[in-house]
A = this chain, B = another copy of it.
Amino acid sequence: MKTLPKLLAGVGLIALTAPLGAFSSDDINQKVAEQLAQKAQSSSLGYDIVESLTVEVGPRLAGSEQDKVAVDWAIAKLQSLGFDRVYKEPVTVPVWRRGIAKASILSPFPQPLVVTALGGSIATPAQGLSATIVRFDTLQDLQNAEAGSLNDKIAFIDAKTERHRDGKGYGQTASGRSRGAVAAAEKGAVGIIIRSIGTDHDRMAHTGMMRYEEGVTAIPAAAISNPDADLINAMLKRDKEVVISLELGSERRGETTSYNVIAEVKGSTKADEIVLIGAHLDSWDEGTGAIDDGAGVAIVTAAAKHILDLPQKPERTIRVVLYAAEELGLLGGKTYAKEHEAELEKHYIAAESDFGAGPIYQIDWRVADTAHSPVINAMKVAEPLGVAAGNNKASGGPDVSMLPALGVPVASLRQDGSDYFDYHHTPNDTLDKINPEALAQNVAVYAQFAWVMANSKVELRPLPPKE
């Protein structure tokens, strides 16, 4: 308790009606957590960080020149904030360039389409590709099509993404984007287009990663906007034979090195134990990466900075990890898990912010069953911020999702993502989509989470088996 006088000087608002000795270290930690929330909510730090990233760097596709700019920006920003340690760790990433993307309906009624290449797609032949489309409600319907039934056709997966606070609509349709090309090629298709995985009705196509498989012909893959998908449906009602042309200039150019950028607030008594809060530094190339994931970068960085600025240190080390190349397949997260394998047993808990800047309404956990109630109790301090207790089935966010299988507890600080998929992976992912107050609430909750976890006495392991 030797830091108490200093703590009280720094905190000020602690009610001194009880005798000093009545404060347990838990009480103190709770009070500090309350102060952190006040600080975070009255500070523009989080917003300033995402403003800086979107203005001074902007689009930062992993493996691009701008990705290097982003890494330099992150190092400089974290250093200027005075973290105890700032460093980067290499991550091998593919180099892919979007190039041009054009599409149009050739018949029955010629009209241009708004289209974007899916990430990782090969190009079409230089003169483009023209073929009749065959429409499917879902990826599964495409997978159920007869072999050869799509010879010389372009497959069209037309699944609509539903709007939900927790974003579960995305989970229901995104596999059409990632696995559609393989499924279509297996049936003989020469290309695939999908209805954008997005909840908007803007004339913007949503990009995102897709995959090929060895042994299956690689075919060009693109997304069209929701209104364009509607247009094709309107034509299909009139005429089964809808012919489109597609021209993609995308190219894959080997690999390069990107970096996970890491900053730490060094712990006091348990400096070797780690509370990891992460976000991903890379973004898609058509927006400025504000909600995905500039917001997350800002949230975890500002949260850690507010703790850094406290008069006392957290017991455990708080590690901010800004992951490389999440969009290209969680590459930074996977590399981190591999390179830090020996240290993972020292990871007390991990969480990632990667769902925009909507307010956090719930914290889900993946901790020992015996720890679930205690951590819920510990985080009751976030209740005034509108944060409810959640389940014990969290995945923790994409870049930490591989950690529970390696024994590391995680938490998911669940954000209201009702409009997240309106903008996700489109040119529309820009700073104006971020509500500064909601962002500050996120910073507040992450600061509380990191602080409380860094000082928690609860044993979070072993994790319950996955259901």
Contacts and interface: CB of A to CB of B under 8 A. Distances in A.
Interface of A: 51, 54-59, 109, 111-112, 114, 201-204, 226-227, 230-231, 234-235, 238, 287-288, 426-428, 430-433
A432 B227 contact: yes
B203 A428 contact: yes
Contact of A203 (B58, B112, B235, B427): B427
Contacts of A201: 430, 432-433
A453 B326 CA distance: 64
Given A234-B51, A432-B227, A111 B427 contact: no
A288 B231 contact: yes
B432 A111 contact: no
A51 B234 CA distance: 9
A366 to B, nearest CB: 37
B57 A227 contact: no
A36 B396 CA distance: 59
A450 to B, nearest CB: 29
Contacts of A432: 201, 226-227, 230
Nearest to A51: B234
19 contacts: A54-B231, A55-B109, A55-B235, A56-B109, A58-B112, A201-B432, A202-B202, A202-B204, A202-B428, A203-B204, A203-B287, A203-B427, A203-B428, A227-B428, A227-B430, A227-B432, A230-B431, A231-B430, A231-B431
Contact of A234 (B55, B59, B204): B55
A202 B433 CA distance: 9
Contact of A231 (B55, B109, B230): B55
B234 A426 contact: no
A426 B426 CA distance: 16
Contacts of A112: 58-59
Nearest to A426: B203
Contact of A109 (B57, B202, B426, B427): B57
Contacts of A235: 55
A287 to B, nearest CB: 7
Nearest to A200: B202
A432 B228 CA distance: 10
Nearest to A231: B55
A100 to B, nearest CB: 10
Contacts of A227: 288, 428, 430-432
A158 B242 CA distance: 43
B111 A58 contact: yes
B430 A203 contact: yes
A229 to B, nearest CB: 10
